[in-house]
Structure 1
Amino acid sequence: MLVVAGVAALGWIGWQYVGTNWVSARKHAAIVDRLERGWSDGEAEVHVDEGTAGAIVRIPRFGDDYAVPVLEGTSDDALAAGFGHLEGTAGPGEVGNYALAGHRVTHGEPLRDMPDLEVGDRVVVETATTTYTYELVTAGDALTVPASSGWVLDPLPTNPDAGGVEPPQGAGQRLLTLTTCSELFHTDDRLVAFAELVSSSPRRGR
């Protein structure tokens, strides 16, 4: 019985760290393809089994083929299919804070290499009509907060700790915030990186 239990445990671990990534990678690609086809047909967003998708994130530091869809909300299904757009935060390119959450391990691991991000790295967000380019103003490993730290999702995140990491302060900021687990395994803390909009242009292919 102990051997059976051990095999079952190893199988579960293998599924979590290999199987879910394989499944989610296929979901990412399928939803990106569905979005691009939908945009060509005049749809602003598409509805898939995991939720509603309306944008694609590309992070050049993570490779030319990095393309992860953004789904509305942060349900388990949404986060297994791409980035989750946190409810109540701004949309792409809008004044305020476009806040995205993504897994660092399992389920496609879109932010596994978050600590490698550096100030000045680009985060490109494509919608049906527009390509928004953000530049990181904080590094991927510069800020760790408890999961309960809601200030990072504010329209203008202001660190309650004097001198702490935060985006530039000023009215009318158009920000993007990335959040993920601070460790590869179980943790109650989050890594957070802030970026600001530097350009927008009509999406190529429109």
Structure 2
Amino acid sequence: MAGSETPTGGTAAAPRRRGARWMTRVGLVLVLVGAVLLGWVAWQLWGTSWQSGRKHDQGVERLEEAWRSGQDSVELDFGEAEAIVRIPAFGPDYAVPVLAGTSDEVLAAGFGRFDDVAAPGEVGNYALAGHRITHGEPLRRMPELVVGDEVVVETREATYTYTLVTGGDDLEVGFRDTWVVDPLPTNPASGSEEGDGTPAVQPPQDAGGRLLTLTTCAELFHTSQRLIAFAVLSDTEPR
């Protein structure tokens, strides 16, 4: 009887060992998946901004070279660069190229210019979009902008200075509210007052106005709403 206990105990221990090995393997797989996910998040938050920062610098440098040679714009690997935006409130080194269109590739390389909008300095609305987080995040600090801050747009012909008439977080709209990029943006609520008694946020309703509009995500990790800031042309200086 004593000799029969050893095989029985060994038989019972084998499944336990196999189960422990499977649990160890599952644990290792979960750790690996977690590491991959963390790496992906880190790349989205920091890696893409580092990469896009290099694209910003490259775009600005290539565009300035093109201007010196008499070209209005330059074709880059990720789009056509045509202007440079500087926002003094964001620091003296802030310089981001503007590219035609608003595709993912364009927005990863700088500001995107909406289709069929006015050119810098022209009557109408020069409407731009930019990321608030990841991909260089040129408008991460958008909520810090206040009325009176300047947005400087440089082209080959001139430097255009626009002055904000609304703050960076004064207006939040849904991503389908395309009125903000109209030639003369008119808030649908402009006929009445907001709930707090203040007029609806919009630029001056001047048919001959020369406007600039900045658009970006309202929240860092949610994209269904947009922050909007309006500016009016206050100065033009030939290059």
Same fold per superposition (TM over 0.5) = yes
Larger Rg: 2
Quick one: which amino acid aligns to residue 133 of structure 1? T
> Residue 193 in 1 paired to residue 221 in 2?
no
- Aligned match for 2:51, one of 5, 23, 34: 23
- Residues of 1 paired with 2:129 and 2:61: CA distance? 21
Quick one: which amino acid aligns to residue 124 of structure 2? G
> Residue 179 in 1 paired to residue 207 in 2?
no
Q: Deviations over 1:89-140 (max 9, x none)?
A: 1111110000000000000000000000000000000001100000000000
Gaps of 5+ in 2: 1-28, 193-198
> Residue 7 in 1 paired to residue 35 in 2?
yes
- Aligned match for 1:117, one of 125, 130, 145: 145
Aligned twin of 1:75: 103
Question: What count of residue pairs does the alignment treat as equivalent?
Answer: 203
TM-score, structure 1 length as denominator?
Answer: 0.97
Aligned twin of 2:126: 98
Quick one: which amino acid aligns to residue 202 of structure 2? E
Offset at residue 187 of structure 1 (A): 2.4
- Residues of 1 paired with 2:38 and 2:160: CA distance? 43
SS at match of 2:131: coil
Q: Deviations over 1:136-188 (max 9, x none)?
A: 00000000000000110110000001331000111200000000000011220
Quick one: which amino acid aligns to residue 135 of structure 2? H
Quick one: which amino acid aligns to residue 194 of structure 1? F
Offset at residue 88 of structure 1 (A): 1.1
Moved over 6 A (4+): none
- Residues of 2 paired with 1:73 and 1:94: CA distance? 18
1 or 2, which has the higher helix percentage? 2
SS at match of 2:223: coil
SS at match of 1:182: strand
Gaps of 5+ in 1: none
For CA contacts below 8 A with separation 6 or more, give which structure has more relative contact order.
Answer: 1
- Aligned match for 2:70, one of 25, 37, 42: 42
Quick one: which amino acid aligns to residue 156 of structure 1? L
Q: Deviations over 1:33-68 (max 9, x none)?
A: 000011000010000011101100000000000000
Q: Deviations over 1:5-50 (max 9, x none)?
A: 1001000000000100000000000110000011000010000011
SS at match of 2:172: strand
Q: How high is the sequence identity, in percent, across the aligned residues?
A: 64
- Aligned match for 1:167, one of 164, 185, 203: 203
Q: What is the RMSD computed on CA atoms of the aligned residues?
A: 0.6
TM-score, structure 2 length as denominator?
Answer: 0.84
Aligned twin of 1:53: 81
